[in-house]
Amino acid sequence: MSEHDPGLPKAHGAAVLSAQMRTSPEDFFVEELPGFEPSGSGEHLLLTVEKRGMNTAFAAKHLADWAGVGDVAIGYAGLKDRHAVTRQRFSVHLPKRIAPDLAALSVEGEGAESLRVIEHTWHAKKLPRGALAGNRFVLVLREVAGTREAIEARLQAIAAQGVPNYFGEQRFGRDGDNVANARAMFAGRRMRREQRTLLLSAARSELFNRVLAARVQAGCWDTPLEGDVWMLDGSRSVFGPEPFDAALAQRLAAFDIHPTGPLWGRGELRSTAAAAQLERAVLAGEEAAALRAGLEAEGLKQERRSLRLRPEGLAWRWLGDAELELDFQLPPGTYATVVMAELGAVRNAGRGG
């Protein structure tokens, strides 16, 4: 079993490979795709940086120290891992519009950490979370074992059909203990504010993954159930339920819409009929009920998430007999690791980072 695979059922069948991922940071390249064009003026210095061996929080602290500002003055759209080479935007609030020496921001250490500025401009607002169009990944798998024919057939199937849109292991903590901590929090254990947000997300993600796993097992994660709620591709807009007709079938086949599962909170499920029946049945157990009650008590509202994820522009090339490079784009809030899990046992050599 892959370290990215906590036992969730697969849509495409048995593993077709085993491999190592992140044997070096350069083997896991992530580029944030910007969600807007900078205004070119304002009090926020907008920086595009490339960093190696730094997670987003570490880089944000480095930026705050460089600019002589508090942590609250730093904005970023998404979180990026340490054991990778990543490109992402940061904003730095500088009301006097005087930027410190950009050269002094660079980190060219002899160790694993480095940071350099690729672009800089001014912008009118702090960079908020989620202000990105997605992420591009270039991943190199090493020590690949498996037949090339079977691996390429699986990649073609993933490109054509997509994969189940599970929340990845990152959401659940390094030891997978975020859900247990969420249960403890709901039972009364005090947690820091930033930790509470993390644990609420983990609890919601656990419930969603259970529903999606049940639909994968039933073979209907990418096909309709009566009463499904639909999400427009590339947005969070939902509609339905409504009768499934030829027009919806055409849109589903074209990846214009996707079936959804619940992100739990207060209120009634939007799904009805067979879809709602499945969701209620999966989440009826004692453990799930405790998570549902905790999320409702915290005031979260019912939302939906797509059950299906299709990597955009999926391409691959062999770098050697046992080295495979993958290149694809994913929308915000989705995980490259769930794509890897549909290939097989991909061991994360950089997990310790």
Within 8 A by CB and 6+ apart from 286, the residues are none
Q: Is the dihedral of CA 238, 241, 247, 248 positive or negative?
A: positive
Closest by CA to 39, choosing from 117, 102, 99, 125, is: 125
Task: Look at residues 130, 106, 31, 107 and name the one whose alpha carbon lies nearest to residue 333.
Answer: 130
Alpha-carbon distances of 271 from 242, 278, 305, rounded to whole Å? 10, 10, 12
Residue 290's H or E segment, with its range, is helix 286-297
Catalytic residue among 27, 71, 81, 327: 81
Residue 315 CA to residue 295 CA, distance in Å, equals 39
Rounded to an integer, what distance in angstroms lies between the CA atom of residue 285 and that of residue 287? 6
Q: Annotated catalytic, 81?
A: yes
Tell me, what amino acid is at 221?
W
Task: Look up residue 202 and give its two tokens.
Answer: 């983990």
The percent helix, strand, coil of the chain (3-state, each to 5) is: 30, 30, 40
Beta strands in the chain (DSSP E): 17-21, 28-34, 44-52, 74-76, 85-93, 107-108, 114-123, 132-145, 163-164, 230-232, 238-239, 257-263, 303-306, 308-309, 312-320, 323-330, 344-348
Question: Which positions are annotated as active-site residues?
Answer: 81
